[in-house]
């Protein structure tokens, strides 16, 4: 038993205020703010500043590039620090930057360089927060089981995904009405993050992880071990490949193509464009939320790898359709179908990674996995932004569509992921 575990159990809440429910609330506040940023940040770049397609791509790259550079160190921190105080500090850092941007926008002094600086700092906070938050889930599930409240990790992961997506939808729906007055909405974003910091401090008092040296030499050795384990494991290595190509072909393309297609293909003033961007994002994440909720209510999938591959192929077809003009309503319907498939992909990915990774390496494995997404995203954003500058946003959508389809097929044919079946989880913690 971990040192201090008995004391922690006596302090823990129960019922609606259980540690697992507080974890869901912590996730909800963060992704409410994150959902607002989904609309506010690209709107400020593409609509307010009227940046070029390459400029939009570079700005999105600045937001995700720090995650690639710092996520591994975030994984090390996840295995050494107390989750509650660490997350509170990072959430407050994000909140402070939101308030600073709020003041700058309200004063009419917004520039492209200011947005780049904001993106770099916020991306750095996210790089450390993501693996800490994800790694904490396994320990919470284990402690809940010790208290007689067993929840399969697959179910907890699916519920977390549903909460994440639901909160993002709420943030998107709020921010899409910002129009030409985004400053108050940035203040609301900061408030949500501050509330999340409060929940982290009050609701996550788990014992500090042990078993890792706190010296620089020990950290570097753990970093090397985590990388070797991740790339040698027969399940984790294809998941890392999946994360990388999703980062390049989906996240990077997603972040750039939506605002550019809305601006260049459908036109309208700033308010109309922002409403359309919010509507598309809401369609995508609402469908993702529905699929995540459905999965959380079902028994864990016997072969989640197949669901993951198929969902990526559906995403490839959706991206391919972006290359052709269509009424905005049909565009939104395609985004809904893609969003439903994406919800399946997010849930199954989380389930596979958190179920297959060894507990000792969990924080580092989650960091390496997230690094695949975040490392691919700035590359994809920059490339799609450059392609859109040369050939237009619609033509630029064809390359990531083809890349995603080929990568998904290769993953199914050349890796064991298509046949992967997770080991059954033991419901009795004393067994």
Distance CA 106, CA 49 (A): 14
* Residue 205 confidence (pLDDT): 60
Distance CA 168, CA 165 (A): 5
DSSP secondary structure string for all residues of 318-340: HHHHTTS---HHHHHHHHHHHHH
> pTM of whole model > 0.85?
no
* Residue 332 confidence (pLDDT): 92
* Residue 6 confidence (pLDDT): 44
* Residue 425 confidence (pLDDT): 52
Enter the tokens of residue 326: 């269509």
* Residue 12 confidence (pLDDT): 46
* Residue 427 confidence (pLDDT): 46
* Residue 206 confidence (pLDDT): 53
* Residue 16 confidence (pLDDT): 64
* Residue 79 confidence (pLDDT): 65
The single residue listed with the structure tokens 């107390």 is: 82
pLDDT < 50 stretches in the chain: 1-13, 426-431
* Residue 359 confidence (pLDDT): 67
pLDDT tens for 20-48 read 888 999 999 999 999 999 889 988 998 88
* Residue 97 confidence (pLDDT): 96
Write down all domains in the chain, each with its CATH number in brackets.
Answer: 11-419 (1.20.1250.20)
DSSP secondary structure string for all residues of 24-78: HHHHHHHHHHHHHHHHHHHHIIIIIS---HHHHHHHHHHHHHHHHHHHHHHHHHH
End-to-end CA distance of the chain: 15
Enter the tokens of residue 96: 């402070």
Sequence-separated (6 or more) residues with CB below 8 Å from residue 308: 242, 344, 345, 348, 349, 352, 417
């Amino acid at each position: 038993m971990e040192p201090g575990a008995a004391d922690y159990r006596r302090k823990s809440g129960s019922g609606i205020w259980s540690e697992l429910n507080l974890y869901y609330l912590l996730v909800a506040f963060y992704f409410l703010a994150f959902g607002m940023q989904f609309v506010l940040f690209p709107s400020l770049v593409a609509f307010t500043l009227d940046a070029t397609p390459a400029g939009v791509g570079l700005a999105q790259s600045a937001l995700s590039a720090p995650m690639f550079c710092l996520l591994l160190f975030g994984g090390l921190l996840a295995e050494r620090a107390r989750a509650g105080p660490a997350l509170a500090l990072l959430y407050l850092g994000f909140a402070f930057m939101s308030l600073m941007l709020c003041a700058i926008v309200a004063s009419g002094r917004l520039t492209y360089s200011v947005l780049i600086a904001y993106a770099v700092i916020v991306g750095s906070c996210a790089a450390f927060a993501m693996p800490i938050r994800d790694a904490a889930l396994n320990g919470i599930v284990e402690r809940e089981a010790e208290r007689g409240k067993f929840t399969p990790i697959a179910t907890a992961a699916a519920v977390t995904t549903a909460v994440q997506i639901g909160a993002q939808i709420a943030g998107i729906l709020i921010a899409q009405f910002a129009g030409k007055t985004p400053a108050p909405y940035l203040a609301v974003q900061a408030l949500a993050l501050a509330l999340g910091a409060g929940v982290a401090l009050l609701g996550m008092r788990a014992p500090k992880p042990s078993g890792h040296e706190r010296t620089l030499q020990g950290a570097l050795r753990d970093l090397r071990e985590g990388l070797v384990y991740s790339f040698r494991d027969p399940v984790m290595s294809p998941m890392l490949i999946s994360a990388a190509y999703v980062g390049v072909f989906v996240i990077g393309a997603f972040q750039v193509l939506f605002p550019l297609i809305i601006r260049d293909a459908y036109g309208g003033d700033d308010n109309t464009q922002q409403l359309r961007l919010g509507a598309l994002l809401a369609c995508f994440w609402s469908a993702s939320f529905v699929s995540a909720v459905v999965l959380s209510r079902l028994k864990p999938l016997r072969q989640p790898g197949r669901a993951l591959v198929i969902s990526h192929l559906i995403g490839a077809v959706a991206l391919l359709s972006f290359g052709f003009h269509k009424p905005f309503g049909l565009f939104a319907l395609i985004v809904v179908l893609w969003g439903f498939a994406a919800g399946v992909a997010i849930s199954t990915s989380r389930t596979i990674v958190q179920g297959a990774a060894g507990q000792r390496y969990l924080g580092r494995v989650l960091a390496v996995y997230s690094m695949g997404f975040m490392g691919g995203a700035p590359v994809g954003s920059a490339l799609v932004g450059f392609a859109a500058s040369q050939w237009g946003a619609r033509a630029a959508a064809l390359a990531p569509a083809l890349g995603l389809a080929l990568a998904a097929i290769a993953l199914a044919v050349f890796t064991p992921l298509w046949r992967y079946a997770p080991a059954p989880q033991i419901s009795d913690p004393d067994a």
